[in-house]
Amino acid sequence: MPCVGPSKSAARLETDKSFVKNLMEKYKTSGRIVSKVFDDADELCSFIDSFGKPVVIKPLGLTGGKGVKIVDPKLDGQLKSNEEAKKYGKEIIEKGISGFNKALVEERLEGEEFTLQAFTDGSVVKPMPLVQDHKFAYEGDNGPFTGGMGSYSDSNHLLPFMTDEDRDAAIKVIEEVVAAMKKEGITYKGIIYGGFMLTKEGPKILEFNARFGDPEAMNVLPLLETDFVDVCQAVVNKKLSDIDIIFSNMATVCKYAVPKGYPENPVTNQKIAIKNLPKDARLYYASVDKRQDGLYMTRSRAIACVGVGKTLEEAEKIAQAALTSIDGPIHYRSDIGTRALIQKRVEHMKELRNEAKN
């Protein structure tokens, strides 16, 4: 049966981090970072000690975006030192978190995260507009990691802190990985998601997903002008080179309403209602339960509020107004898509680029 999505073997790009790490190392693809997989806790600890720099610890399989922990003493809800990283790595290995008795240790990168999603038929890669997700639960990028509290994309399909060269380098990473899989006899067809860190040396790959991102899909799909069915047919028939995929030049902002206490201790079964929703807002319902007497939140992200506008400022106002139309005990991040937070990202990258020049 024709399917717009990778095979089980190809989907290991997302489900098995060791598979993609080994693939990229074998073919020397660009965007690689220092990383190593361990199934022995003592070896993991020895590596972290010898590495001597802050690290990131990840379970090998799927955790809904909530299994990653980074060493950064300035961030609430994260690891304060490499000693804590060793304890977490041991826990992953001993408990088999995510279904593997293995842990992935990576170098801690400094920069700005971004997402590049693309359609591919196994040979041709057609990129979508760039998006920046916000993984931290609380304002100002604090708190524990989540599945994503919201995201934005700009009208020129870049991000304010990125250049055309940065985007091209990220596209190259995805193209090289798709080509590497083809050399292994694996044709990857469908949507491919690259989660990147833009560093002073350029884009570095953090993770791949074998699907659209959540929330990033809600930034790009409302902008798609080409018939989605035509795109899917081109993927299935390996004819992506024959189709122009057009996205409108609009900005988008997505903000999630979640239960209080999310992600670690969410308060469940709280009733919410939508009142006076702005006519130009878009709502995407997620972890909610519709009952006879109304709508109830469950344990995870409840409703995504999306604004589309000519500018980021316009889109952000629409998304924020939609959030405030939700009546009930919700939590959300007001700072996503705001001028202040975006300018903070821009200044951060300017500082890093200047360091690289000196």
The H or E element spanning position 297 is strand 294-297
Phi-psi region of 113 (alpha: psi -120 to 50; beta: other; left: phi over 0): beta
How are beta strands 190-199 and 112-120 bridged, if at all?
antiparallel
Predicted pLDDT at 65: 66
* pLDDT range class, residue 309, cuts 50, 70, 90: very high
Other Cβ atoms within 10 Å of 177 Cβ, number: 25
pLDDT of 61 > 90? The answer is: no
Predicted pLDDT at 354: 93
Domain segments of the chain: what residues? 1-15+110-249, 34-107, 250-334
pLDDT of 263 > 70? The answer is: yes
Contact 324, 272 (CB under 8 A): no
Q: What span, in angstroms and rounded, lies between the C-alpha atoms of 193 and 215?
A: 12
Query: Can you name the residues that pair with 330 across neighbouring β-strands?
Result: 259
Q: Which two tokens stand for residue 47?
A: 């590596």
Q: What span, in angstroms and rounded, lies between the C-alpha atoms of 48 and 61?
A: 21
Contact 326, 303 (CB under 8 A): yes
**Region 34-107: CATH code:** 3.30.1490.20
Residue that has been written with the tokens 């193209």 in this structure = 175
pLDDT tens profile 168-186: 999 999 999 999 999 999 9
pLDDT tens profile 16-37: 988 999 999 999 999 999 899 9
DSSP string, 15-53: H-HHHHHHHHHHHT-TT---EEEES-HHHHHHHHHHH-S
Mean pLDDT of 145-174: 98
Q: Which two tokens stand for residue 118?
A: 């693309």
pLDDT of 75 > 80? The answer is: no
Contact 251, 153 (CB under 8 A): yes
Q: 1-15+110-249 belongs to which homologous superfamily?
A: ATP-grasp fold, B domain (3.30.470.20)
Mean pLDDT of 316-342: 98
**Fold (CATH) for 250-334:** Glycinamide Ribonucleotide Synthetase; Chain A, domain 4 (3.90.600)
Q: Considering the entire predicted model, what is its pTM? A: 0.91
